[in-house]
Chain A
Amino acid sequence: DVKVTQSSRYLVKRTGEKVFLECVQDMDHENMFWYRQDPGLGLRLIYFSYDVKMKEKGDIPEGYSVSREKKERFSLILESASTNQTSMYLCASSWLGLPGGYFGPGTRLTVT
């Protein structure tokens, strides 16, 4: 079974803090993605990566950065957390050329 894990299920941070969300997949997938999901807005793509050290902006990259130093790990960084970044963050991975993603369990982040 494909396994995508995320470092935390629930996280509470204060405004202005730097936040790291980690995602690890164990299926040797080339592609990895970060989405956020908000009521009424659905899943929105933040960043994605097709290979190590490679990254592409998604639809809403502002306020976020990413890092992919190893194939299995894709990190999402909130440089200075703000209350409007309170959301459910979902990581996904897939094989190159075989679309369809497998999601991690999500991290529910609250910024106060």
Chain B
Amino acid sequence: GIQVEQSPPDLILQEGANSTLRCNFSDSVNNLQWFHQNPWGQLINLFYIPSGTKQNGRLSATTVATERYSLLYISSSQTTDSGVYFCAAYQKVTFGTGTKLQVIP
């Protein structure tokens, strides 16, 4: 099956810093989603982005399907951005390994 790898596995940022999270997938995919999992386990939709670039406030994402990767950009990070970020590739849904982000004041 498809393999989905995320990097870095762990990231510590000072509040206000910018970061880029990467998601690599081993085969072509039809769809890709980014999620933020809060400390209570809820997966919150960030982006549904099979290709191209989208922006939502301080967050943006880019998927280059032909090169099998997606990037999630977080600008001006806040402590509330802390948690685990997952990308998920479809159709037989495969989640990545996750990036655990901690933003410190």
A and B are partners in one complex rather than unrelated chains: no
**Chain B residues with a Cβ under 8 A of chain A:** none
**Chain A residues with a Cβ under 8 A of chain B:** none
